[in-house]
């Protein structure tokens, strides 16, 4: 939102306060709410879309091939919190590493990786998601990150990454092969992909395909509480098979 210069009038202070109040309630045209996520011994403060359900009709769309795109980025998912906490526990292993996050949403996971010293590239298919991710990253002193709009079906990178991060991206079978191809193309030989998902029933088929594509993985679980509900989150550490 562009700030409006106050006119020289007797109510200029009132105008500036109104503008400030509006900026606190809206960001990039969306009503917002603030949330603090406990990560280790600190809070990550995020601005997120307030009541995103009201935007479903506005933001849903189909591409030329009839594929429906839903605004999943406008929700803060438990899988992102679980992966962010897992990343926080990796200590110095991220220091100086080249890290790619796909489907970054509001940027929580990438912010934690930045704070651990990683060189993070945030990506998302949705431009508005990147606006929020960049705003939240700057607010949490993750100023050196890069933000790139990208469809994981058509990667725009030539480089490889030491870590690839993804939370709740395997919800639809149509995404499985493009994500596996991205890992094959962009993960370094001894790199690690970290993936989280909320214990969906269909994920077993994805990991079967992942194994057949030359990867191994280890699984752990955690419990995340958000909006008065508790969710089981599965965390996967994925490597190339030796």
CB-based contact 161:190 (threshold 8 Å): no
pLDDT per residue of the chain (242 residues) written in tens, 0 to 9 = 332 223 333 333 333 334 434 445 778 888 999 999 999 999 999 999 998 888 777 777 776 666 666 778 999 999 999 999 999 999 899 999 999 999 999 999 999 999 999 999 999 999 999 999 999 999 999 988 999 999 888 888 889 999 999 999 999 899 999 999 999 999 999 999 999 999 999 999 999 999 999 999 999 999 999 988 899 999 999 999 98
How many whole angstroms separate alpha carbon 108 and alpha carbon 44?
A: 8
64 lies in a domain?
Answer: no
Whether residue 55 lies inside any domain: the answer is no
Contact indicator for 81, 108 with CB cutoff of 8 Å: yes
66 within domain boundaries: no
- Is 130 among the domain residues? yes
In a domain, 92, yes or no: yes
Rounded CA gap, 235 and 123, in Å?
Answer: 20
Does the predicted TM-score (pTM) go above 0.75?
A: yes
Residue 61 falls within a domain, yes or no? no
- Range of 205's domain? 74-240
* C-alpha neighbours within 13 Å on the C-beta side of residue 33: 10
Task: Give the CATH number, domain containing residue 115.
Answer: 3.40.50.150
Can you tell me which residue has the tokens 């030539």? Answer: 158
186 in a domain, yes or no? yes
Is position 133 within any domain?
Answer: yes
Cross-strand partners of 31: 26
Q: Domain count of the chain?
A: 1
Percent of the chain with pLDDT over 70: 86
């Amino acid at each position: 939102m562009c700030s409006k210069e106050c006119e020289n009038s007797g109510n200029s202070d009132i105008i500036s306060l109104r503008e400030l109040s509006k900026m606190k309630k809206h960001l990039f045209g969306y009503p917002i709410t603030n949330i603090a996520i406990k990560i280790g011994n600190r809070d990550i403060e995020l601005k997120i879309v307030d009541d995103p359900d009201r935007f479903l009709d506005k933001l849903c769309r189909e591409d030329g091939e009839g594929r429906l795109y839903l605004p999943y980025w406008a929700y803060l998912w438990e899988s992102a919190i679980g992966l962010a906490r897992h990343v926080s526990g990796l200590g110095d292993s991220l220091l100086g590493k080249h890290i790619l996050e796909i489907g970054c949403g509001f940027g929580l996971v990438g912010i934690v990786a930045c704070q651990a010293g990683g060189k993070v590239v945030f990506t998302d298919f949705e431009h508005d998601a990147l606006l929020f991710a960049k705003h939240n990253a700057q607010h949490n002193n993750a100023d050196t990150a890069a933000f790139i709009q990208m469809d994981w079906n058509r990667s725009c990178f030539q480089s490889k990454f030491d870590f690839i991060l993804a939370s709740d991206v395997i919800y639809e079978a149509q995404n499985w092969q493009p994500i596996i191809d991205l890992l094959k193309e962009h993960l370094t030989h001894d790199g690690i992909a970290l993936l989280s998902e909320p214990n969906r029933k269909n994920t077993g088929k994805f990991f079967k395909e992942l194994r057949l594509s030359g990867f191994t993985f280890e699984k752990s679980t955690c419990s995340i509480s958000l909006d008065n509900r508790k969710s089981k989150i599965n965390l996967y550490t994925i490597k190339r098979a030796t």
